[in-house]
Structure 1
């Protein structure tokens, strides 16, 4: 007999398996479902000016180029947003890209202090292609990418996903990134409750 699978349903029909929530246990690696669920909460907090991409977006962009993601945001006016947040799965590591749309600036947040130029170049190329596709002439060129160095960094191997979620929350709320590695257990507990209650606490 196949073992029954327990799940937790949110009002937005995001089904999180117990196994997903278990990735929020100490020292575990967060999976796509948890990151997507959390980024949904961030999007819902400021729907008019913040848009969060799905974790599979950048992977698909790497594999198939612009044509592979051309229709992903067809119902979203991304160039009318203030901030785009893009979770990035880079091998065995999560990072975050922030797009300050109106300033045409990209920032890469890597909790291990990396500087992935290829990542920024791919995202700039995507934005230029998307702007051309939509007839947004002001956004077809002039983008700049930067690596953020003045950010909290991880001291263990499994907390990159939690750092990404907290970077994104600080950006969304416009507050300083004044947390550190010692805050990770607290954040893991808080994120579990937020996903279960489907609201930011």
Structure 2
């Protein structure tokens, strides 16, 4: 509305008044703030420009006509020079009373609304463009999963694991807040899931079939195996049944009879069985974890009852020439512990960085784990010239394990702890399995082959 078009709305002033200059400020009691609020709501909803212009002009005229009727007639209007083509941005109304100064703001609704519509459309277009560009970071080309990582110069193409999927999610987290608000992360996750489902059959063709080993420790014994064990138990006690040449261990009938029900296991049977476990791992390295099995004399040499800890007494037991590997390269190291008339097991769990103690009676012996921690640090320093800080390793007295219910099966429990752990299995057996394990162990010793 041009300045000259609204002079007739006001009474002519008879005498000029001294006026004070005031900065423009919105007057809310005449409804102009409500008009501005309405304009903003319409702009936020991105309505058509023609409809918005019509509503704003109509509201502006109605509000001004109704509001200016309440003005007092003893006021003076200050006209500001404008070009005829310019819009009126505000009208300053000053009362002749200094305590009553009112400023009416006239918003140019059409121009402001059109600007807002254009801004909103630009923002939406920019977000859609950025979203499309970001989603292009995940490409399906020749069955490859490519993720653009800002920290790398080359794309990640490994889909056999979830590393690429993880990097894709990290890439989504680094996007702008606008993309996050529009659900970019959910879209990416869904596309990744679809990709993995579509490629599942492809990867299964390249992978070696997984072998379920959970049933192997409980395989049924044949009648021939049971008959051979019974025959060995009933033979002349002085007869040598088998000889393991590499370890130089002879098993006579008398020694094998410790595997009969109600008997305590002896050193020769235990040590030969541990040798067979290591040979089993060497035959099928992909099926069993890498372990080392110390014999029953190791700990008594390491920690003598009279002289205490003595690393030099066992230093030559683990030379590269003798073993063909270093202990630090193993996942687990098993140490049989004989305490008077009771067998327990200690484990140096290198993979999980902890020292474990397993007692079928759930006993606790912290001094044993302390000695083994000291030994492992000395061993790695001596063989690999590396300082290992084992002070941060955890000591664990395993309680979630099969318990012994009698006074003679502690040795069999100890052997089965090692057998199952070396398979990578949980200790999923009970006292009721001990008669079967005794016959099976005797059969494996007679065949010089652990299964």
Whether TM exceeds 0.5 here: the answer is yes
Displacement after TM superposition at 1:11 (Å):
4.8
In 1, Cα distance between equivalents of 2:385 and 2:432: 44
Equivalent residue, structure 1, for 2:395: 145
- Looking at CA atoms only, which structure, 1 or 2, has the larger radius of gyration? 2
Q: 1:23 to 1:195 in 2, by over 3 A?
A: same
Displacement after TM superposition at 1:81 (Å):
1.1
In 2, Cα distance between equivalents of 1:157 and 1:4: 25
Q: Does the CA-based 8 Å contact 2:237-2:252 persist in structure 1? A: no
Displacement after TM superposition at 1:198 (Å):
1.1
Equivalent residue, structure 1, for 2:299: 58
Equivalent of residue 314 in structure 2, options 55, 66, 69: 69
Equivalent residue, structure 2, for 1:43: 278
Equivalent residue, structure 2, for 1:105: 354
Displacement after TM superposition at 1:138 (Å):
5.0
In 2, Cα distance between equivalents of 1:102 and 1:149: 20
In 2, Cα distance between equivalents of 1:27 and 1:4: 18
In 2, Cα distance between equivalents of 1:60 and 1:197: 31
In 2, Cα distance between equivalents of 1:133 and 1:23: 38
Equivalent residue, structure 1, for 2:384: 135
Asked whether 1:154 is paired with 2:404, we answer: yes
For residue 130 of structure 1, give the secondary structure of its aligned residue in structure 2.
Answer: helix
Instruction: Give the alignment's Cα RMSD to 1 decimal.
Output: 1.9
Equivalent residue, structure 1, for 2:420: 170
Higher deviation after alignment, 56-65 or 154-163: 56-65
TM-score (norm 2): 0.42
TM-score (norm 1): 0.92
Q: Does the CA-based 8 Å contact 2:369-2:395 persist in structure 1? A: yes
Q: CA-to-partner distance for each residue in 1:100-124, whole Å, 9 max, x for gaps?
A: 2233211111001001111111111
In 2, Cα distance between equivalents of 1:136 and 1:39: 28
Q: Does the CA-based 8 Å contact 2:264-2:409 persist in structure 1? A: yes
Displacement after TM superposition at 1:41 (Å):
1.2
For residue 259 of structure 2, give the secondary structure of its aligned residue in structure 1.
Answer: coil
Displacement after TM superposition at 1:143 (Å):
3.2
Equivalent residue, structure 1, for 2:438: 188
Aligned residue pairs, count:
199
Equivalent residue, structure 1, for 2:339: 90
Asked whether 1:8 is paired with 2:241, we answer: yes
Equivalent residue, structure 2, for 1:23: 258
Q: CA-to-partner distance for each residue in 1:55-89, whole Å, 9 max, x for gaps?
A: 10011111152121111111331111111111111
For residue 428 of structure 2, give the secondary structure of its aligned residue in structure 1.
Answer: coil
Q: 1:136 to 1:80 in 2, by over 3 A?
A: farther
Q: 1:181 to 1:138 in 2, by over 3 A?
A: same
Q: 1:169 to 1:129 in 2, by over 3 A?
A: same
Gaps of 5+ in 1: none
Displacement after TM superposition at 1:7 (Å):
1.0
Q: Does the CA-based 8 Å contact 2:331-2:350 persist in structure 1? A: yes
Q: Tell me which of the two structures has the higher relative contact order, counting C-alpha pairs closer than 8 angstroms and 6 or more residues apart.
A: 1
